[in-house]
Chains A and B, each alone.
Chain A
Amino acid sequence: MAGNIGIFVCGCDGLISGVVDMAGVEAGLAKVKKRIGAKVFHPRLCGSGGTGAVRSAISQNALDCVIIAGCPESECRDVFNSVAAEAGLAPEMVLRLDIREGCAFPHGNNPGGATAKAVNLIKMWNARARLAEPYKPVYATGNRDVLVIGGGLAGLSSANELAEAGLNVTLIEKESYLGGRAGQFDKVFPRMCDSRCGVTFLVNRLKDNPGIKIMPFTEISGLKGSAGRFEAGLSSRPRTVDPEKCNLCGKCEQICPVILPDEYNFGVVTRKAVTPPRPLDQVGSYVINRENCLPGCSLCADICPAGAIALEREPASSTVKFGSIVLATGWQPFEAEKISRLGFGRYANVLTNVQMERIMSPDGPAGGRLVCPESGREPENVVFIQCAGSRDINYQGWCSTICCAATLKQAINIKLLNSRIKVYVFYIDIRVYGDYEELYSRAQEAGVVFVRSSPAQVYAEPGAAGLMVVGEDTLMGRTLKISADLVVLAAGMKPCGIPQPILNHLSHGQAGESRGNPEEAGLLDRRGFFVGHRQCFPLESPAQGIYPAGTCQEPMDMANTVRGALAAACKIFKTSGERVEVSPMVPQVDKAGCDKCKRCMEECPYGVWYFDNDGYPAPDPLYCKTCLTCVGACPRQCISAQGFSVQELVGTVTARVKETEPGEPHVVAFVCENDAYQAVLLAGRMGLEYPSGVHVIPVRCAGSCNMVLIQDGLPEGIDGFILAGCRHGECHYIHGADRTEERVANIKLTLRDIMIEPERVDFVRLGVRDAEKFAGHARDFVERLKKMGPSPFKKIN
């Protein structure tokens, strides 16, 4: 509680004092004496004379909190903060009060009202200052343990960045090998370098880093805790073959009776239940996929000369604790067999683009030669069909963004291999963006024929050897029929899905209640991709500490995948410092008042709360985004941040203020500082007039408004309240404005019950430039209040 407050009122070289009567303000504050150490009225506080006056008043009177009434906080911040610091006062103890944009400007034609309002505002800020506690810096120790889920390009990139910075990384990969899709492909556009090169490089770097633990064949089986204190259960499938003993003779694979499509090669060839080590398998022995085995079969174990096979091995469970998660679960190809007119699955020579990658890969089933699967011969005519399922509401409504470039890459490579092969591309639009346009030119130069076509159809002519592709050439307005030895379908990308334990964690509140299915909960978009808070924080999930990277978010190329992976690492670096001074806006719980009701945990948009050692909820300061929705939610009003407590705000609504003009309704407006308050400032700058009884208090987020402000303000005789938040879907803290809209709807019901006009409390959504809307709204609101008459409590107070 501040014991010695300084009030400094600035005339702003006439901008304020031209409207607000400075002498009138001084007279209005004459009786404000308790715990006031200095009152200074100055024509221009930010000038050298003014700063000198502030500096000497602070040091001479040992002020512990000062109110600067003048321009908005966005201006002269450095001036006053450094003046305070020079005088030995923490800059956090400087409370800025805007009486220019918020008072002098909008009430330029109403100097009497402006003066009375300035007095009121200073009294309201004084009430805040009186309750302000001295600033105490809070430090937190960072967390340096990270779990990376997925060993593809995104996961490896993040893991490498984190591990090289000295963090402890556990990387889990559900397959037995690393590298993901990038390891399976042939070449990378636009440079046509080897796709496996990048991931091999990363794997080799990681191998030597003691800070990383790589766990292949491992999936996450459970997740507890919250950011900074996660605990995950991991389940590792057994390889069944002892790598120490396996001599790679391959007898096990030969004798294995099971034959299945080989997923590694996207089904172009088959495999056994026993598979040889794939490229980038860090263990290097054969693997027996036990789920594929025939019951009771032990042929492999019986034949193994090295005795390396023990079929009875169980999956191994383990537990890891860590602070953050990188979610890099990647993508999978669209199932092209769903589109029967394209003949995939019916004709062996119809391939998908990913199968084509395997065919053309030097270590693929064809050894890198371009062949038709059916004949084993080089094709003469190759037809690419774009958007196989993509941009089609019957299949995948979206564009996967990279298929066009991928097709161009493959077409160019075919032409490079043998320029006599005829290559056609059936497309709707060629969507290559940025510099990838150059691929299109290269393909054209190489002689690739582009056909702008409606959806094509593939069929085999009875008796003929090849396939026929029929489409309507929409440029020429004619039907086009082309015979092809090989058809390649550009199947789009779909997400692999988020591991169930993570989805469970995210789609339940911290007290365990369900937030509905993942789509309703805003975790996955309608496509199943992982949704960050796209507008402001695209790298974040609804639970802090879980950061998506790569194609689990949306279809993207490799360059963007790496960028995203590094961005996720950056988010984690932010919380990994040795000793971090946390924002004064990180909320703290007064345990003496807390009933452990957990509403703070429930309403936190970021899930950063946990139970401390005494069983009380506490936010992790490293992950808290300081929206202070918890302050607004707490029914016990026992959560506060430094400089922002419910009690301080209550001070503003219970301060002894006067009507700005006779009969003028007294209105307090709590406005979100991010958007709505900017509109208020703009309204002032534009000189838009609104009634002088509207007193604006900027708050962290609309969600930080506790309804007790109304419960306390109403009996004090305040006629009306405005709460202003961001426009729909634009809240910087995901749902702060929605929370408050809902709270306001509820308190309106209460007002109805106690026979007070619910319309006295008003919720409005404002964008940063909604100045007209704000001013108009304030005018209308006050008009309505005048019709209602004064608050019933005006009489009894």
Chain B
Amino acid sequence: MPPKVDPTKCDGCQGESEPLCEQVCPGNLMTLEKETKKAYCREPGDCWDCMTCTKACPRQAIQTMLQYQIAYFPGKLIPLVGTNSVTWTSIDCHGRVERFVMKTLVSSDDEDED
């Protein structure tokens, strides 16, 4: 599921030498196009689909697409990362939407039940 970067949203992490997606990629695959200052995956086939970059992008500019050889177009799965949770939106090929809110960290502050 190679990461695809939306150039209208990616801001190259403000011209940093190493944008966040490049910093976090376990496979050393994300990098910055020098001219456009937009991130891209240098070797889409080498991606393990861990979605680390997708979740790390502060601009939600990265979407992970399944390779066409194994999945039809145009399904989507998009995470929205909060401090203690991640909200997933799955949009299948027919446009059906499913949403999941998954806990990611124990929040140190559990409120009264009310």
Which residues of A are at the interface with B, using a C-beta cutoff of 8 A?
Answer: 1, 31-34, 127, 130-131, 509, 511-514, 595, 597-599, 602-603, 635, 637, 646-647, 650-651, 655-656, 707-708, 711-712, 714-715, 746-747, 749-750, 753-756, 792-793, 796-797
Contact = CB atoms under 8 A, between A and B. Distances in A.
Nearest to A753: B78
B17 A511 contact: yes
A31 B80 contact: no
A599 B13 contact: yes
A603 B109 CA distance: 30
B25 to A, nearest CB: 13
Given A599-B16, A714-B80, A714-B87, 16 more contacts: A1-B108, A131-B109, A595-B23, A597-B19, A599-B58, A711-B81, A712-B83, A715-B80, A715-B87, A746-B59, A749-B9, A753-B63, A753-B76, A753-B78, A754-B78, A755-B97
A127 B112 CA distance: 11
A651 B107 CA distance: 10
9 contacts: A127-B111, A131-B108, A514-B15, A599-B16, A708-B81, A708-B83, A715-B80, A750-B78, A754-B91
A714 B60 CA distance: 15
Given A131-B109, A753-B60, A753-B76, A513 B83 contact: no
Contacts of A655: 111
A796 B99 CA distance: 8
Given A512-B15, A602-B14, A708 B82 contact: yes
A509 B101 contact: no
Contact of B15 (A511, A650, A708, A797): A511
B104 to A, nearest CB: 11
Interface of B: 6, 8-9, 13-17, 19-20, 23-24, 37, 56, 58-60, 63, 76, 78, 80-85, 87, 89, 91, 97, 99, 101, 108-109, 111-114
A755 B19 CA distance: 27
Contacts of A130: 109, 111
Given A127-B111, A595-B23, A651-B109, A715 B82 contact: yes
Which of B6, B76, B101 has its CB near the most chain A CB atoms (within 10 A)?
Answer: B101
A750 B87 CA distance: 12
Contact of A792 (B63, B82, B99): B99
A789 B40 CA distance: 38
A750 B80 contact: yes
Given A31-B114, A635-B58, A712 B82 contact: yes
Contacts of B6: 749
Nearest to A599: B14
A33 B83 contact: no
Interface centre among B8, B76, B109 (most CB of A within 10 A): B109
Contacts of B76: 753
B68 to A, nearest CB: 20
Given A712-B82, A792-B99, A511 B16 contact: yes
